[in-house]
Amino acid sequence: MRARPGWTVTVGMSSCGVAAGAEAVREAFRREIARRRLPAAIRITGCVGMCHREVLAEVSPPGGGATIYGDLTPERAARIVERHLLGGEPVREWIVADDRAPLHALPYFAKQKKIVLRNCGFIDPEEIDDAISMGGYEALRAVLAEGSPEAVIACVEASGLRGRGGAGYPTGAKWRRTRESPGAEKYVICNADEGDPGAFMDRSVLEGDPHTVLEGLAIAAYAVGASRGVVYVRAEYPLAVRRLRAAIGQAERRGLLGRDILGSGFDFSVALMEGAGAFVCGEETALIASLEGGRGMPRLRPPFPAARGLRGMPTCINNVETLANVPWIVRHGAERYAAIGTPGSRGTKVFALAGKVARGGLVEVPMGITLREIIEEIGGGSGTGLPVKAVQIGGPSGGCLPASRFDTPVDYESLKESGAIMGSGGMIVLDESACMVDIARYFLSFTRDESCGKCTFCRVGTKRMLEILDRIALGRAEEGDLDLLEELGRSVGIASLCGLGQTAPNPVLTTLRFFREEYEAHIRDRRCPAKKCRALFRYRVDPSRCTGCGACARVCPVGAVAGEKGRPHLIDEARCTRCGLCVEACPADAIAAE
Amino acid sequence: MKSTIAKSDAARDAAFRRLLSGAEESGSLIPLLQKTQGLYGYLPERALVRIARRLRLSPAQVYGVATFYGQFRLRPAGRHLVTVCHGTACHVAGAERISEALEGALGIRTGGTTPDGLFTLRNVACLGCCSLAPVMMVGETAHGRLTPAKAKAVLRRRAR
Ligand SMILES: Cc1cc2nc3c(=O)[nH]c(=O)nc-3n(C[C@H](O)[C@H](O)[C@H](O)COP(=O)(O)O)c2cc1C
Ligand code: FES
């Protein structure tokens, strides 16, 4: 049977899809479709959030309906063209969802509520018409036609929306302050610096639905009285930069940005600025310093940017996700938004679920859902066979909560009480193989590197804390070191000017609070229970299992393994760097840590 | 930012002069540095001096900005920029072993460039593909779900 005209194959082409090999899969679809002269179009879309099943593609027959395939490779794409497009039979083994078992019924999506991510993975982010067909720019149109700036601010205030960039400041109140601050000119800035390692919410939104962010920014500009805006994007996100730049151009050509938008008399132009690789530039005053061409160093607030920001003018800075909520709120009303979530934390929050989790990806959940529901019901547990040990929330400013605290609801207040923070949305699941000293050390070495150096406590304090952690990891620490670590941590938190230093001790303090015995094992017994700290364990070859195949010796980067072919091998402990490559290479499972 | 390796030195210098003549205020310093690095692959000292003159800043100010941001390089990089992610997800998924395997295979340390000028190895604190950890980027292409062997194979393909 020949395929009828009008098939569509839509390949998920966000950074995560591309990293999983989406370019080659798209190419394979294209090649096979062309070779067989099939009447089928190939489209692209952003990330639907199921990063654990990438590469994803949707196949739609001419009559409508859809089959979504996952775990694709170029070979599988070719098979799908042959069997599904040409033969009319879907290929069962790689189906993720179809009309009988749709996406939203999967355990991964059942508890999610999509507002920010409503279009991601469904529209072609490079086609403005796709966005418009989903209601894009309707909120802006409505606001310009009938809403006064005052009404817009009142609506956002009533929705209860709080900033998603980390601090959770009420968005409506920020807009009001900017509007009321005197200034010859005002600015709006979209903070797309997303520097927290382990976070990719903003990237996915920018790559999957850039027009929603631009629309939110334009509404913010109208509300505060700004005619110019900047999107400050992290340089490590080349695809987001490219799609955003294209989106700005398209919106300008449609008269949705630029002069006299939709004939309303409202002018608003957007510039794009790429960050240059400094984490601290996500902090709002540092971001402004960077926009002005200087070193990105934070300054004391007040004055807040709402009063004195870019070029000394009132400036409203909002996070990508915050802005992406705005068009939905305007279109559906503040009440509907406020009905979702908890009294203090309205609406939804997007989390980047990664680490040791079976189903990782981007999830958007109503506030108030528990950590357990996210990690176990949506994420499906660790997926490694080992129990989940903890979850790290909020990146370098956040903390680690043990599995015993997984009934904590996800809202600003409860998370803060628990010692972690909501943060921007990074959520890294750790299983029993994780060493909490190693995790604390990891984050502190990050903040030490990224400290801008302005405050002594942040610059030197993080360094001293890291030295203590290094000593612990090397088995050279002493009894009093944990108290010293806690005291230093408290001082760094108090004596730093910006959020970076104020929150830098959190990963250390929370792990000390919940996993103190693990620190003590390193200090008292010179033992790393998870076998991560390299000075505290060694690798040994079990001579009764070793077949002498030599695989270990071949992969060892430092030449620490020796042995004759066919005879048990030996690891030179002094030379070994504990990289573990030999363990992975051994076909006989003969090498173990002890 | 694409680097235009194929251009001749003279063409690059001409493009740099055009860049400079378009720049006026100090607010444009960072984009100017980014474009300059896009042209040369790094920030040559003489370019920094001329940028300073053009924007009426001291060379020290320009140097201060160039060294503050992780993106800028004051030395030429290899043809392929290999960026290994050491974000949280990649860290727990074994990023360190990816780096070690690549250091071993290339015979350089992170931060270094191979003597043949083919590869520069560096770290980054998250590429935003955390669900596919461990991840690395070669040029602008991200590679996910790496193992030490897969990472080495990617570089072998590039070296050809
Ligand atoms: C060290 C540091 C890094 C930050 N990084 C970001 C970031 O990458 N993205 C972001 O939106 N906000 C970041 N923030 C928070 C911003 O300062 C600011 O609060 C936020 O952009 C305001 O937007 P919102 O009210 O919509 O959340 C950071 C703060 C600090 C202290
Ligand atoms: S932690 Fe490596 S991509 Fe985010």
- Phi and psi at B15, nearest 5°, equal -65, -40
Q: Does the C-beta of B89 come closer than 6 Å to ligand 2?
A: yes
Q: Determine the distance in angstroms separating the CA of B33 from the nearest CA of chain A, rounded to an integer.
A: 10
- Closest among B125, B141, B129 to A47, alpha carbons compared: B129
Q: Averaged over A324-351, what is the pLDDT?
A: 98
Assign A397 to helix, strand or coil.
helix
pLDDT tens per residue, range A474-501: 999 998 999 999 999 999 999 999 999 9
Residues of chain B with C-beta less than 8 angstroms from the C-beta of A353: 131
Q: Check whether residue A483 and residue A542 sit in a common domain.
A: no
Interface of A with B in 447-476 (CB under 8 A): 450, 452
- Domain of residue A554: give its range: 538-593
Amino acid at residue number A86: L
Pick from A274, A428, A581: which is nearest to B89 by CB? A428
pLDDT tens per residue, range A535-575: 999 999 999 999 999 999 998 888 999 999 999 999 999 99
Q: Determine the distance in angstroms separating the CA of B147 from the nearest CA of chain A, rounded to an integer.
A: 10
pLDDT value for B6: 55
Task: Give chain B's domain count.
Answer: 2
Residue of B32, B109, B124, B132 to mutate, testing the A interface (most A Cβ within 10 Å of its Cβ): B132
CA of A165 to the centre of ligand 1 (A): 4
Q: Check whether residue B97 and residue B26 sit in a common domain.
A: no
Interface touch B130/A428, C-beta < 8 Å: yes
pLDDT value for B1: 44
Phi-psi map region of A368: left, alpha, beta (phi>0 left; psi -120 to 50 alpha): left
pLDDT tens per residue, range A83-107: 999 999 999 999 999 999 999 999 9
Task: Give residue A5's pLDDT band: very low, low, confident or very high (50, 70, 90).
Answer: low
Position B4 pLDDT exceeds 60? no
Q: Does the C-beta of B132 come closer than 6 Å to ligand 2?
A: no
Look at residues B24, B44, B68 and tell me which one is the last residue of a structural domain. Answer: B68
Look at residues B68, B88, B115 and tell me which one is the last residue of a structural domain. Answer: B68
Instruction: Report how far residue A402's alpha carbon sits from residue A439's, in angstroms, rounded to the nearest whole number.
Output: 13
Residue found under tokens 């923070």 = A421
Residues of chain B with C-beta less than 8 angstroms from the C-beta of A392: 88
In a domain, B46, yes or no: yes
Which residues are CB-neighbours of A350 under 8 A, at least 6 positions away? A116, A117, A164, A201, A205, A321, A362, A363, A364, A425
Q: Is A35 exposed, middle or buried (0-12, 13-18, 19+ CB in 10 A)?
A: exposed
Instruction: Report how far residue A549's alpha carbon sits from residue A570's, in angstroms, rounded to the nearest whole number.
Output: 12
| HSE-up of residue A223 (Cα within 13 Å, Cβ side) | 35
Q: Check whether residue A97 and residue A151 sit in a common domain.
A: no
Amino acid at residue number A81: V
Q: Does the C-beta of B137 come closer than 6 Å to ligand 2?
A: no
- Reading the block at residue B100, the tokens are 């070690």
pLDDT value for A221: 98
- Closest among B87, B137, B96 to A426, alpha carbons compared: B87
In a domain, A465, yes or no: yes
pLDDT value for B3: 46
Q: Check whether residue A290 and residue A332 sit in a common domain.
A: yes
In the DSSP assignment, the letter for residue A235 is: T
Task: Give residue A419's pLDDT band: very low, low, confident or very high (50, 70, 90).
Answer: confident
Q: Classify the C-alpha dihedral A285-A291-A292-A297 as positive or negative.
A: positive
Task: Give chain A's domain count.
Answer: 5
- Reading the block at residue A192, the tokens are 């797309």
pLDDT tens per residue, range A36-68: 999 999 999 999 999 999 999 999 999 889 999
In a domain, A532, yes or no: no
pLDDT tens per residue, range A146-194: 889 999 999 999 999 999 999 899 999 999 999 999 999 999 999 999 9
| B86 near A CB under 8 A | yes
In a domain, A65, yes or no: yes
Residue of A187, A233, A446, A539 to mutate, testing the B interface (most B Cβ within 10 Å of its Cβ): A446
Task: Give residue A82's pLDDT band: very low, low, confident or very high (50, 70, 90).
Answer: very high
Instruction: Report how far residue A438's alpha carbon sits from residue A429's, in angstroms, rounded to the nearest whole number.
Output: 15
Q: Give one DSSP letter per residue of A291-337, joined into a string.
A: HTTS-------SSPTTTS-GGGS-EEEEEHHHHHHHHHHHHH-HHHH
Which residues are CB-neighbours of A57 under 8 A, at least 6 positions away? A9, A10, A11, A12, A25, A29, A68, A69, A72, A77, A80
Interface touch B130/A54, C-beta < 8 Å: no
Q: Averaged over A13-38, what is the pLDDT?
A: 96
Instruction: Report how far residue B110's alpha carbon sits from residue B119's, in angstroms, rounded to the nearest whole number.
Output: 11
Q: Averaged over B14-37, what is the pLDDT?
A: 90
Question: How much is the mean pLDDT over chain A?
Answer: 96
In a domain, A549, yes or no: yes
Q: Check whether residue A225 and residue A326 sit in a common domain.
A: yes
In a domain, B74, yes or no: no
The residue nearest atom 1 of ligand 2, judged by CA position, is: B87
Instruction: Report how far residue A275's alpha carbon sits from residue A338's, in angstroms, rounded to the nearest whole number.
Output: 34
**CATH code: domain of residue A293:** 3.40.50.11540
As a whole-number percent, the residues of chain A with pLDDT over 90 amount to 94
Q: Averaged over A520-533, what is the pLDDT?
A: 96
Q: Check whether residue B95 and residue B55 sit in a common domain.
A: no
Q: Check whether residue A456 and residue A405 sit in a common domain.
A: no
In a domain, B4, yes or no: no
- Reading the block at residue A493, the tokens are 């938190």
In a domain, B155, yes or no: yes
Residues of chain B with C-beta less than 8 angstroms from the C-beta of A279: 125
Write down the H helix ranges in A88-200: 107-110, 128-133, 138-146, 149-159, 171-180
Q: Check whether residue B49 and residue B104 sit in a common domain.
A: no
- Closest among A504, A200, A178 to A318, alpha carbons compared: A178
Instruction: Report how far residue A296's alpha carbon sits from residue A287's, in angstroms, rounded to the nearest whole number.
Output: 6
**CATH code: domain of residue B110:** 3.40.30.10
Q: Averaged over A64-77, what is the pLDDT?
A: 96
Position A1 pLDDT exceeds 70? no
Q: Check whether residue B93 and residue B120 sit in a common domain.
A: yes
In a domain, B15, yes or no: yes
ipTM confidence score: 0.93
Interface of A with B in 20-49 (CB under 8 A): 20, 23
Question: How much is the mean pLDDT over chain B?
Answer: 92
Instruction: Report how far residue A14's alpha carbon sits from residue B136's, in angstroms, rounded to the nearest whole number.
Output: 16
- Residue in chain A nearest B93 by alpha carbon: A355
Amino acid at residue number A280: V
- Residue in chain A nearest B64 by alpha carbon: A295
Task: Give residue B8's pLDDT band: very low, low, confident or very high (50, 70, 90).
Answer: confident
Q: Check whether residue A279 and residue A161 sit in a common domain.
A: yes
- Closest among A504, A239, A449, A500 to B69, alpha carbons compared: A449
Q: Check whether residue B91 and residue B121 sit in a common domain.
A: yes
- Domain of residue B13: give its range: 9-68
Which residues are CB-neighbours of A292 under 8 A, at least 6 positions away? A310, A311, B26, B27
Q: Check whether residue A322 and residue A365 sit in a common domain.
A: no
